[in-house]
Amino acid sequence: METAWFIILTVMLAMYVVLDGFDFGVGMVYPFVARTETERRTALTSIGPVWNANEVWLIAAAAVLFFAYPKAYAAGFSGFYLALILVLWLLIFRGLALELRTQVDHVLWRQAWDRAFTTSSLLLAMVFGTALGNLIRGVPLNREGYFFVPFWTDFQPGSDPGILDWFTILIGLTSVVILAFHGANYLVVKTEGVLYQRAVSIAWILGWVSAGCTALTVAAVPMVQPNLSLNFSRHPVVYLAPVIGVIVLGYSLYFRLRRRDISAFVASCIFIFLMLVSVMFGMYPYILLSTTDLAFSLTVFNAATDSYGLTSGIVWFVGGFLLILVYQIYLYFQFRGKTRLDDAH
Amino acid sequence: MDSALLYDRLQFAFTATFHYLFPQLTMGLALLLLYLRSRVLLTGDEHYEEVADFWTKVFAINFGFGVVTGIPLEFQFGTNWARFSNYAGGVIGQTLAMEGTFAFFLESSFLGILLFRKRFSRRVQWFATLMLFLGTWMSGYFILATNAWMQHPVAYQMGADGRVFVTSLSGLLTNPWLFWQFAHNMTATVVTASSVVAAVGAYYLLSGQYLSHAKTFLCTGVVAGAIASGLMIFPTGHGNADQVFKYQPIKGAAFEGIFRTEREAGLYLVGQPNLETMTIDNPIEIPGALSFLVYNDLYAKVQGLDAFPRDQWPDNIPLLYYAYHVMAGLGTIFALLYGTAFLSLWRGRLFHMKWLMWWLMLCAPFPYIATSAGWMTAELGRQPWLVYGLLRTSHGTSPLVHSGNALFTLIGFLGLYLLLGLLFVLLVSKVIRQGPGSSCASEMRTHDGTSL
């Protein structure tokens, strides 16, 4: 049951990154692809009805972590105190930018929120990537199961790490590039005309940069966290996940070239999903790895709530999850196809 | 109190109070919007559609601010209250995860539909409104179930490691504390929403604009407000007070200002608690009223603070006392005001009574103050406990987040929320200035997809 909730948590986090990921991506490529007011409105309208629902995956994932692994939630959230409060502030700015930009018809007002949208999207992608890097690298958990990391120490992933070191920054940058690629793919699907053309060309470049960054990251992970590859060597069949992920990235570029827009976007969704699944599989059964002593690490077993909680949770969660899928499919279905501005209100 | 604990408490109190300014309107307004949209659906009345569209805009702005200020609360359980999260996550994690799963997705998906409602039929708009109503009220239910457990822990057992775990999910969701708390709180959201709707109507009527809309706003707001503000006092307010005296007599004694155990305990309407002399200064008191209200007996004995050890007393008794009295005082004023307005409406005179319009307009902030004061009563009165009788607040903080970090983020939140408050006032006053029914021509030009 502990493992089942780990899978649920993985799926929810991966859904979050895939879905809100393209919102961040749109935010990052926005100043480059959308230049006139109409183009900007089109780009924003493409995520307008869905970004809020996408963000809910993060909240729901955090709540699932709280519920299933209270100890890991307590340790992780207090340990990454500064980074998480920063995430909160950035999410506030991102949300305000999307909601408020159109409320006042003044060029400076719109420019300000455009900048806020791009900056917060970029930083959020960076911080979330860095957080993933921290999970992989490990944190200085003490005997009581708590830790605190400052933003930086010496930028080295040693036993006294900060949130930022060369490794986590690398993962952060990789996330920025991959999510920007993903967002460009989304814009390609949702737009037409000049906006479409620009999104196509930027997606093509970002796709290749993503491939490069992914290669660097894959090379760096075993150097920093050898534990992660243990699971893979024990169960070699799981190598399929990252391998298929990389192949799918290749396909995404191929589809891009052949102008099969929807396939390219679906491919970048699958790529991101599989990469996260690979990391989480490598982590299992650890949720938080300790850099001070591996024995202090929090696992799905020692951080979990008791079995009644986990079992009773499954019952309502399965029902709830199916409902979520219904709403989300309904929502995306209602707003399918190219974004239209004419009926927007 | 060590300073990290103080900053943690201030930060949570501030962010929670600020956040709740928005949901208290959206939850109540969701009910009123459901009424308006049902009317549109049944009669096809375009006037009501304009009214509903206007309030949907206000709803959406509030909802947006509610979402962005809500996320910090869930995160803060972990960031600032890690030991509490670890201790109680096995119980309250359930209700919070249920809120995320059942309420948030529902709300956010159907808000997307309602924001872009012009491309949907009236039937779909009505359905989206119904789903938003369900979503917001479910969200309220799960959050209150969480709070009810902290006020009155049920359905739990202590594990070997000293943490608590839920033993019965249905027991957690049917906490006896929850019933009156939910009824009282949700009725309060209807009071807030009604008073805002009526106040905007009164403003339009007094300034001679949008008269037909103004009258609909006033009718809707006054009728709903009169019913809800009555229900606030009886039975929901009374039910809440009863359970406080039953389960948390120290809280009751502290907020009523009863220092000494006595028969024929009086109800203080006004007065200042004096902790030195253990009396109320300058009291205006109704003798025997408290005994009667709590035990239906003028001569019943009510336990005062002196009946309890001092380390169990709430740590800020004067503030608790004032919070409670502000809530109860404003609630009474409200019931009188809306009762009067309702009678005038009944007799068909309301729209000619300028002085009453002024009152309805100027009293709009009062439900917000009363609601915030009510929550302060509940939460300050829970002190010194984080989980009543089980975990002290001072034992719930994050062990390694020191005061420098906590103060840093507290200051950040203060600054950021000041900006948010200004933006909110700017936007809502813009919507009110624009008025209902003016939508098409000007808005199609200025608004785009993400508009509200």
Q: Which are the contacts of B45, defined by CB distance < 8 A and separation ≥ 6? A: B39
Residue A300 lies in a domain: yes
Query: Nearest residue on chain B to A305, judged by CA atoms?
Result: B90
pLDDT of B113? 87
Chain A interface includes B67 (CB < 8 A):
yes
For residue A34, the SS3 value is coil
Residue A131 lies in a domain: yes
CB B87 within 8 A of CB B396: yes
Residue A286 lies in a domain: yes
Q: Which of A66, A331, A334 sits opposite B96 (nearest CB)?
A: A66
CB B427 to CB A100 under 8 A?
Answer: yes
C-alpha atoms less than 13 angstroms from C-alpha of A90 in its C-beta half-sphere: 20
The token duo for A1 is 């049951």
Alpha-carbon distance values, A245 to A218, A239, A269, A307, B289 (Å): 12, 10, 10, 34, 72
Residue A214 lies in a domain: yes
HEC profile for chain B? CCHHHHHHHHHHHHHHHHHHCCHHHHHHHHHHHHHHHHHHHHHCCHHHHHHHHHHHHHHHHHHHHHHHHHHHHHHHHHHCCHHHHHHHHHHHHHHHHHHHHHHHHHHHHHHHHHHCHHHCCHHHHHHHHHHHHHHHHHHHHHHHHHHHHHHCCCCEEECCCCCEEECCHHHHHCCHHHHHHHHHHHHHHHHHHHHHHHHHHHHHHHCCCCHHHHHHHHHHHHHHHHHHHHHHHHHHHHHHHHHHHHHCHHHHHHHHCCCCCEECCCEEEEEEEECCCCEEEEEEEECCHHHHHHHCCCCCEECCHHHCCHHHCCCCHHHHHHHHHHHHHHHHHHHHHHHHHHHHHHCCCHHHCHHHHHHHHHCCHHHHHHHHHHHHHHHHHHCCEEECCCEEHHHCCCCCCCHHHHHHHHHHHHHHHHHHHHHHHHHHHHHHHHCCCCHHHHHHHHCCCCCC
Handedness of CA B433, B436, B438, B443 (dihedral sign): positive
pLDDT of A342? 59
The stretches in chain A having pLDDT less than 50 are 343-345
Pairing label, strands B267-274, B279-286:
antiparallel
CB B450 to CB A102 under 8 A?
Answer: yes
The domain tally of chain A equals 1
Chain A interface includes B99 (CB < 8 A):
yes
For residue A298, the SS3 value is strand
For residue A303, the SS3 value is coil
CA distance B258 to chain A (A): 39
pLDDT of A155? 84
pLDDT of B6? 94
The distance in angstroms from the start CA to the end CA of chain A is 46
Residues of A in contact with B443 (CB under 8 A): 345
Chain A interface includes B69 (CB < 8 A):
yes
d(CA B277, CA B415): 40
pLDDT of B298? 85
Q: Which amino acid is at B200?
A: V
pLDDT digit of tens for each residue in chain B (452 aa)?
678 999 999 999 999 999 999 999 999 999 999 999 999 999 999 999 999 999 999 999 999 999 999 999 999 999 999 999 999 999 999 999 999 999 998 998 898 888 888 888 999 999 999 999 999 999 999 999 999 999 999 999 998 888 999 999 999 999 999 999 999 999 999 999 999 999 999 999 999 999 999 999 999 999 999 999 999 998 999 999 999 999 999 999 999 989 989 888 888 988 999 988 988 898 898 888 888 888 888 888 889 999 999 999 998 999 999 999 999 999 999 999 999 999 999 999 999 999 999 999 999 999 999 999 999 999 999 999 999 999 999 999 999 999 999 999 999 999 999 999 999 999 999 999 999 986 543 343 334 434 33
The token duo for B124 is 């779909």
CB A78 to CB B439 under 8 A?
Answer: no
Chain A interface includes B75 (CB < 8 A):
yes
Domain range for residue A278? 2-334
CA B112 to chain centre: 25
| Length of chain B (residues) | 452
pLDDT of A337? 86
Residues of A in contact with B88 (CB under 8 A): 70
pLDDT of B443? 40
Residue A343 lies in a domain: no
CB A327 to CB B109 under 8 A?
Answer: yes
Fill in the DSSP letter of residue A102: G
Residue A285 lies in a domain: yes
CB A320 to CB B102 under 8 A?
Answer: yes
CB A78 to CB B112 under 8 A?
Answer: no
pLDDT of A103? 84
CB B451 to CB A82 under 8 A?
Answer: no
CB A341 to CB B105 under 8 A?
Answer: no
